[in-house]
Amino acid sequence: MKYLEDFQNPELAAGLLADIRATVTRPWALMEVCGGQTHTIIRQGIDQLLPEEVELIHGPGCPVCVTPLEVIDRALAIAARPEVIFCSFGDMLRVPGSDRDLFRVRSEGGDVRVVYSPLDALKVARENPHREVVFFGIGFETTAPPNAMAVHQARKQGLRNFSMLVSHVRVPPAIEAIMTSPDCRVQGFLAAGHVCSVMGTGEYPELAERHRVPIVVTGFEPLDILEGIRRTVRQLERGEHTVENAYARAVRPEGNPAARAMLEDVFEVADRAWRGIGVIPRSGWRLSPRYRDHDAEYRFDVTGITTREPAQCRSGEVLQGLLKPDQCEAFGTTCTPRTPLGATMVSSEGACAAYYLYRRLSTPAVPREASPVG
Amino acid sequence: MCLAVPGRVVEIAERDGARMAVVDFGGVVKDVCLEYLPDLRVGEYAIVHVGFALQRLDEESARRTLDLFAEIGLLQEEFGDPWEAAAAAVREEQQ
């Protein structure tokens, strides 16, 4: 059992919890969309502190987790080429492809480099004019504008040796897919705060109205999450379904207009496959045809690489909120952060990793880790 | 990767054709692109994600978030050496 003393401001947390308890009269299932929120919830034991009527379902908001296996295999094929310097964010290194990961490619001689920012990859391209520099562009609406800027700058600076393998995803179509699934139990959403700091809240009122579901924009700190839950439960109890912004210090209704304009210039909306879930219509971005020169998929002709996902990993069900990580028979036995079956266990934002690291299992299958993944 | 970290702008300069800043994240200093928040000034705080300032933040909430991130090890996760972490994972697997 977790204690309120673990919170930065225990009195405020206690007040929010008391308010949730006083408001709730029947069972409600809420989904937190962002993987960062999932980690806060599990680490602080927020789900265990809530009244039993309030159930939190973990959403698909971990960019590493939802990147399909075939995209990882395409990345590995490009990274293994001798003329290529492959640049990636660090959390992709240990994501398993069909038979290896980027870390293994590097140990086999591939030139794989970790960058903090996509602009670092541009620098690598400037410094290595005779090599092909490829950046692995994954992530949600928060990461897409920085990656779009890198492509835009490459064009502006005439860096012909820079290209990007793009697998960006968008949150609103994922919410749509979850709400239209026949198994859907979600009655309210805690929307991902940082996604909204870029995109604003304009895409949500229509979703909230059509599915009669409250959507509350929520940050990822413990008190932010309690406040998001409080507001969502209050709406549900009153029979309301509006969009509320509980993260106003970082989210303006219009988001970041400059970032949104760059997204529109560099990318175009496209259907995207999500790992374990399948194709969700219009749920992602790809480079627009005007930037095809910088599209690694075409430059290295990897579009033909297609991969079927293994059946033993049930991360697709976890990502849709249909299965809790510890309900999977592989959890903590054949699947651990050291030997992951899927990305939800290896990613620092994955729901399975959060359960493995922080969940106090009543009968732990294996000794718990002391150090974080990633 | 999707979490953004608040930081304080220390210095602003034009570099490689882009508006760039030096930003301090509770002791860790990084280059950050200001193209999406061009009117950010020295001394102000912003939410920064993968080297880009994405939204202004007031000083008090920025400091609170930074303290929390430092306490729970998130700053280490964001700015630590990923090769080291991956290598440690592989070593343990092989044992």
N-to-C CA span, chain A: 26
The pLDDT value given to residue B2: 59
- A216 vs A179: CA distance, rounded Å: 16
Contact B92/A at CB under 8 A: yes
Confidence of residue A369 (pLDDT cuts 50, 70, 90): very low
Residue of B nearest to A119 (CA): B51
- Are residues B50 and A338, on separate chains, in Cβ contact within 8 Å? no
Residue of B nearest to A112 (CA): B83
pLDDT of residue A330 exceeding 70: yes
**The pTM is what?**
0.91
**What DSSP line would sit under A181-240, residue for residue?**
STT----EEEEEHHHHHHH-STTHHHHHHHTT--EEEE-SSHHHHHHHHHHHHHHHHHT-
Q: What is the pLDDT of residues A227-274, one digit of tens each?
A: 999 999 999 999 999 999 999 999 999 999 999 999 999 999 999 999
Q: Mean pLDDT across chain A, nearest whole number?
A: 91
| Angstroms from B93 CA to nearest CA on chain A | 6
- Are residues B51 and A116, on separate chains, in Cβ contact within 8 Å? yes
- Are residues B2 and A62, on separate chains, in Cβ contact within 8 Å? yes
| Angstroms from A27 CA to nearest CA on chain B | 30
- A204 vs A190: CA distance, rounded Å: 12
**Cβ B93 vs Cβ A340: under 8 Å:** no
**Cβ A258 vs Cβ B35: under 8 Å:** yes
A vs B: CB pairs below 8 A: 141
Question: ipTM of this model?
Answer: 0.89
**Picking from A133-142, A155-164, A297-306, B46-55, which range would have the lowest pLDDT averaged per residue?**
A297-306
pLDDT of residue A86 exceeding 90: yes
Spell out which residues of chain B touch residue A94, defining contact as CB-CB under 8 Å: 86, 89
- A206 vs A211: CA distance, rounded Å: 9
Of A94, A252, A372, the CB nearest to B86: A94
Alpha-carbon distance values, B88 to A79, A111, B72 (Å): 22, 20, 20
**Picking from A59-63, A294-298, B90-94, which range would have the lowest pLDDT averaged per residue?**
B90-94
| Angstroms from B69 CA to nearest CA on chain A | 9
- Are residues A149 and B82, on separate chains, in Cβ contact within 8 Å? no
pLDDT of residue B88 exceeding 80: no
**Cβ A256 vs Cβ A197: under 8 Å:** yes
The Cβ of residue A129 has, within 10 Å, a number of other Cβ atoms equal to: 10
The pLDDT value given to residue A132: 98
Contact A63/B at CB under 8 A: yes
Nearest-Å Rg of the Cα atoms of chain B is 15
- Are residues B50 and A8, on separate chains, in Cβ contact within 8 Å? no
The pLDDT value given to residue B93: 63
Residue of A nearest to B95 (CA): A338
Of A117, A197, A250, the CB nearest to B51: A117
